[in-house]
Amino acid sequence: MRLQRKYRPRASSLLFVGVTAFLGIGAIQADPNLMPLIFGVAIAGLVSSGLVGGMMLMGLRPRRLPLGSAQVGTVFRVRYELESRARFLPSFALGISETPSPKRRPGWEEYFSREGGAGRAFVAQVGPRESVRAVGRFEPVKRGACAFCGVEVTSGFPFGLFHKVVASRQGARVLIRPRVRALRPGAVPRLLSRLGHEAQTSRKRRTGEEFFSLREYVEGDSPRFIAWRTSARLDTLVIREHAERTWHRVRALLLVSPEAASEDVERAIELYASLSSALVRTEVSLSMRVPQASASFDGARPASIGALLDALALLDHTSPVPEAFESTREALVLVRTDEVSGLPTAPAGCIVFTSRDLDRLAKSVGGEA
């Protein structure tokens, strides 16, 4: 692990040095005589602050623990471990954060909010030969893949005159998935009814839970399914049959126009992610297609959503759009951008949602699924 140590001057330290210089001039004039004492204390404060603060960070080894995936709108916790190899001196007031990205290159900073202490962790103390774990709270604001360069530990202890930094290079890549919002109550049933699905009877007798019909008893039927009350009324044995509801297959498709504005694209992706997450929890047999991200999931289950979101995280809306829709017997739900240029015409019977529908279908921000 390669460590880099540096002092980072701040305005307060420059101000203190300026005031100390003025005190020095007053002390040289030696009128009154306590001024040299104050000047001495100020100089000793500067020196001891630099010495003790620097020594405190000498034995520190910061490390970032393995990262998971992040999601816009959800707190992303990054776990750090601070190990002190010092023999005697503990370290105090340690702020842990990610090393700033090199200038002129898009860095992780644009993917995370920096407000309200987000993006940093704090450890009050690490004793000699101890290790402490801390968690930094990051608030992703934009989907995509970002890279962390390294971890740095900063401390202004003891007096905040100098901020000492120990940085270690540890590259890591984080995938930030799009936001998934909960849909409004009734949104999913309304969609299903629009799909026009009817329950189909299963000929598999005695399966399912829904009552289907009655028929005469034949040899071999289980006595468990005899409807005794009806048999008594009709004076013949009658068997109760159950049915199993099955649904048509539904295909959810996302298409984004290369010409669409960035906000339009993001809202479409957010709507698609939210809709897919909601549908996959129903009994619909769902297949998900994002041709521009080469993502295809048939017979999707809730576990598939993670993979879908990973694909959406990397979706580049300038990727080529398929010229025509695949022919399919599945009911088609299309989510697209408001901008339609470059998109194929939706086939008849297809239910289309645009990015504008996001606020109508989904709960307001804060109601993540």
Partner 1 sequence: MSVYKRFHNATHLCATTGILLYATSSGASGTGFIGLLFVFFAWTLFGRTATSPIPRIAINTSLLLASGYMMLRVSAAPGDAIVILSEYLVVLLLIKLFEDRTPRDQAQSLAICAMLGVGAVLTDLSMWTGVLLITHIVVLLIASTRYQLWAGHHATYARSDTASADTIETVPSQGRRTRWRLRVVTLLLLTMIGVGGVTIFIAMPRRASDSSARFDIFGEEATSVSGFQDHIQLGAAGLISQSREVVATVGLETDGLLLTQPVFRYFRGSTQDEYDTRKGLWSASNVLKRYEHGRRLAIGIAEGDHGAHLDRGEYELPALNSGRNAGRFPDGLNVIDQHFELVNKTSDNLFALAQPIQVAYAGQSWINLNPIDRTLTLPGRVQKQAYSVRSATNYARPPTPEEWEDYTTRRSERPNPFEDEQVGHALRELALEIMANAGIEREFDAPPSREDDRIVRLFEQHLGERCAYTLEMVAPDDQRDATVYFLFDSKRGHCEYFASALAGLCRSVGIDARLVTGFVTSEVNQDTGRYVIRKSHAHAWVEAPVVESVAFYPENDPERDMIREDRLLWKTYDPSPQSFLGSSTLAGSSFTDTLRMWLYRFEDLWVASVVQYDADAQQSLLGISGDEQVETLGGWLDTMAANQTGVISGAPMWVRRLMVPGLAIAGCVLVAIAFRRLGVDHAVLKRRTRDRRTRKGVTRIDRALRRLNAPRPEHRALLDHARLMQGESRTALERVANVMYKERFGGSSSTRGETAEAIVALERLSKGGEHARA
Say if residues 258 and 317 touch (Cβ distance below 8 Å): yes
Q: Quick one: 148 or 157, whose CB is closer to partner 1?
A: 157
Extract the tokens encoding 134: 């801390």
- Measured from the CB of residue 60, what is the shortest distance to partner 1 in angstroms? 14
Q: How many angstroms separate the CA atoms of 11 and 25, rounded?
A: 21
Taking Cα atoms as reference points, which of 244, 277, 264 lies closest to residue 177? 277
Closest to partner 1 by CB, 40 or 189: 40
**Closest CB to partner 1 among 133 and 204?**
133
Taking the least distance from each CB to partner 1, the nearer of 120 and 289 is: 120
CB of 182 vs partner 1, minimal distance in Å: 16
Which of 94, 331 has the CB closer to partner 1?
94
Q: How far is the CB of 86 from partner 1 (least distance, A)?
A: 12
Residues that bind partner 1 (CB under 8 A): 10-12, 14-15, 23, 25, 27-41, 43-45, 47-48, 51-52, 79, 89-90, 92-95, 114-118, 120-127, 130, 132-135, 137, 155-160, 359, 364
Helices assigned H by DSSP within 235-303: 262-279
C-alpha dist (Å) from residue 3 to 53, 137, 150, 164: 17, 24, 10, 13
Report the C-alpha gap between 103 and 114 in whole angstroms: 17
d(CA 344, CA 8): 56
Residue 54: exposure state from Cβ atoms within 10 A (0-12, 13-18, ≥19)? middle
